[in-house]
Amino acid sequence: MQDRIGPDRVGNIPLPGGRKIKLFGLLQPIADGVKLFFKEDITPSDVDRLLYFFAPALALFPAFMLGGTLPWGPTTGLYGYLTPVWDPEIGLLYVLAISSLGVYGVVLAGYASNNKYSLLGGLRASAQLISYELAMSVALGCIVVMVGSLKMSEMVNQQMGPLWGYGDAPVLKYIQNWNMFTPFGFVAAVIFLICMIAETNRAPFDLPEAENEIIAGYHTEYSSMKFAVFFMGEYAAMIIFGGLFAAIFAGGFNPLPFRWDVLAADFPAAAPIFNGIGAATYWLAPLIFIGKMAAMLSVYIWLRATLPRLRYDQLMTLGWKVLLPAAVGNLIAATVWIYLRALYPAWGGLFAVVLAVVVGATLIWIISKSIKLERTSLEKRKVSMGDGAGGGAATPTEPSVELV
């Protein structure tokens, strides 16, 4: 994607006769790990040694704590004894609590390094987490009120129902109710996607380690395996958040949004095919879930190769003035939709969708007006440029330059 030759061309095994066994760079991760183990490990003399060595481990810890709650397979039959490792009743609250601990490793690394660039990177990470954790929590709150449970396994099971809850509709009853296919779930999915990229400090939100501003930020003073552990934690968090997105918004372990059992019941001639696909979905569930996690990891890489890094004021503006108001408006619209569906099943859902559009348009208008006001309220000054002709003092002449 980045249009450059990478490590996919190294590690080929030569054979007699000039031929080679191409490994496409599959040995490169092993080579990188061996290299990092044997690189010189430098510890600056004036660091806070306890926090300095503790910070990388703390950055790696949350991702492994979250991985055990991912529902990577069905909760019935054989897989019911295996997945998830732990399915707490407060599933999403646990996810938000543990994911917010990841910033402690970054902040402590910046503080303990006794380096101004590292400290600035740690402070940026803490401000970034506060800004985007709020919008992420409210976006997930929308899914909680729609599902009626905090358990992620329940969220996956609910997404296997008919689309929008219309089990009698001719077409909708054949499609699974993935949250990203619902009006409010789609908005929540977009907000969650942006926030999870910011939460893992990945481009275009990698301000805590901006090379052109603060060298490498919080890990400037780290080397060898301590440096590698930070990136192990970062990539582990990316993979786990990809699994969270798949479980909460994209149907979990289901590869396609179709209800194979309903299709088999309504079309007996093709029932063996539909039943076979359903059985394959059951037994291949872990591989399908891992494939979705890999797809989300590819989105991370795609964004890094596509988008430039944001300025810090743009980062804060997006989090506080765009994502948080949009998430709150989406949550309000979702709760109104649930209430009206309960009172007026026929027209309540349609009215709530119209209300959601009105609320969304109003939010966009308010946000655009606030940003425009911020731009126009800046002080303007005129600076006249002199030509300095005749060797004397420069005389003010046109043109003038307007500075903001």
pLDDT per residue over 181-203, tens digit each? 888 888 899 999 999 998 888 87
- Return the amino acid letter for 64: F
Query: Average pLDDT, stretch 154-169?
Result: 84
**Backbone dihedral angles phi then psi of residue 149, each to the nearest 5 degrees:** -155, 155
- Return the amino acid letter for 211: E
Residue 394 is predicted with a pLDDT of 47
Place of tokens 């037994």: 283
Alpha-helical regions (H) of 204-343: 211-214, 224-249, 260-266, 271-283, 285-306, 312-317, 324-343
Residue 141 is predicted with a pLDDT of 92
Q: Is the pTM of this model over 0.85?
A: no
For 57, the token pair is 């481990």
Pairing assessment for the beta strands 13-14 and 20-21 based on DSSP bridges: antiparallel
Residue 385 has pLDDT above 70, yes or no: no
Q: Which of 66, 204, 87, 193 is nearest to 139 (CA)?
A: 193
Distance CA 243, CA 293 (A): 5
Residue 168 has pLDDT above 80, yes or no: no
pLDDT per residue over 112-146, tens digit each? 888 888 888 888 888 888 888 899 999 999 999 98
At 5 the three-state DSSP class reads coil
Residue 105 is predicted with a pLDDT of 84
71: preceding bond cis by omega (within 30 degrees): no
